[in-house]
């Protein structure tokens, strides 16, 4: 209680990406376009999955959940960043900062667990195809999705607690465009070494351990492909390569940021932009450009739209 009573800071000030007005306008236009494409691309995947019977499978069920998480993950930081690019003084209240931090970790951790589930789904489908319908039935898929949200919530609550338990009595400048645990705890009026260790043992370990687990999973899948036909190998490689590209793009920045919270580098902002802005856009493009079933579903949706438009006219 004493720690909470010592809190003096009511708002934080973001330094943003740059103090150059011309660059800010260029960033605003570029990131606005990326955000719109992120929303539209991921929404299209969700719609295609829901309204295309051939996509009512576990893999596309998880893919639609990934699109939903990407929409939420991007929406936690990008709108506030776009607002800041138009303002000279970029601020966020203490409560809103903690809220942003909570949802950032909730959706990021949920995506990590979902990528693990998708890797397991591909492992079962390729390595034990005869057991796949029983192992990955819809009931199991729903339970797995519930578990990933539960795990993400527990993780995010832990990160939020580590942050709000510290006293903030003076510095309030955040050298970024969003609130995150490593950035906020640097402003605490106390020694945060132990908190930094806890962050590494939580976020850092989750990111690194899950990434290594997925690399192992895909390695086993690649080894098992020797027993498949040439057509089966090509289809499996196409699917798994798309999955692994998403894994590498998402986990690279996470591992870079959360395995050394007490150290800052000049490239941190670039990595953060890639992690919060670019990656949610790349996911739908990777899956639609490399997946014939998704592209076919998109064409069917387009044809339906044209048909209903002509009928209406």
Cα dihedral 138, 209, 180, 99 sign: positive
Give the pLDDT confidence of 240-296 residue by residue, as tens digits.
Answer: 777 777 788 888 888 888 887 667 777 888 888 988 998 888 877 776 666 677 767
Cα dihedral 51, 54, 58, 64 sign: negative
187-214: average pLDDT:
84
- Sketch the domain layout of the chain as residue ranges: 9-309
Using an 8 Å Cβ cutoff, are 94 and 9 in contact?
yes
Give the pLDDT confidence of 298-307 residue by residue, as tens digits.
Answer: 677 666 655 4
pTM of the model: 0.86
CATH number of 9-309: 1.20.1070.10
Using an 8 Å Cβ cutoff, are 76 and 103 in contact?
yes
**pLDDT greater than 60 at residue 149:** yes
Q: What is the DSSP string of 268-311?
A: HHHHHHIIIIIHHHHHHHHHHHH-HHHHHHHHHHHHHHHHHHHH
């Amino acid at each position: 209680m004493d720690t909470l009573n010592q809190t003096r800071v009511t708002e934080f000030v973001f330094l943003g990406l740059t103090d150059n007005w011309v660059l800010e306008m260029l960033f605003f236009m570029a990131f606005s376009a990326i955000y719109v494409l992120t929303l539209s691309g991921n929404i299209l995947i969700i719609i295609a999955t829901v309204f295309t019977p051939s996509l009512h499978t576990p893999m596309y069920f998880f893919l639609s959940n990934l699109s939903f998480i990407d929409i939420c993950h991007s929406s936690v930081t990008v709108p506030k960043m776009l607002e800041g690019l138009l303002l000279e003084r970029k601020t966020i209240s203490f409560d809103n900062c903690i809220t942003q931090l909570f949802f950032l970790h909730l959706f990021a951790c949920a995506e990590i667990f979902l990528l693990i589930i998708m890797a397991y789904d591909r492992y079962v489908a390729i390595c034990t195809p005869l057991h796949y319908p029983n192992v990955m039935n819809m009931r199991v898929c729903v339970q797995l999705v519930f578990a990933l949200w539960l795990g993400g919530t527990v993780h995010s609550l832990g990160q939020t607690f580590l942050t709000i338990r510290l006293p903030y009595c003076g510095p309030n400048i955040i050298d970024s465009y969003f609130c995150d645990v490593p950035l906020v705890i640097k402003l605490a009026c106390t020694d945060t070494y132990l908190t930094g260790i806890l962050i590494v043992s939580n976020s850092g370990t989750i990111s690194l351990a899950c990434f290594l687990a997925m690399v192992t999973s895909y390695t086993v899948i690649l080894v098992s492909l020797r027993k498949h036909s040439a057509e089966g190998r090509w289809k499996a490689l196409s699917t798994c390569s798309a999955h692994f590209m998403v894994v590498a793009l998402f986990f690279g920045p996470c591992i870079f940021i959360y395995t050394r919270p007490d150290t800052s580098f000049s490239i941190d902002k670039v990595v953060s932009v890639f992690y919060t802005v670019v990656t949610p856009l790349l996911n739908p493009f990777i899956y639609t450009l490399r997946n014939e079933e998704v592209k076919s579903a998109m064409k069917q949706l387009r044809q339906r739209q044209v048909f209903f438009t002509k009928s209406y006219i």
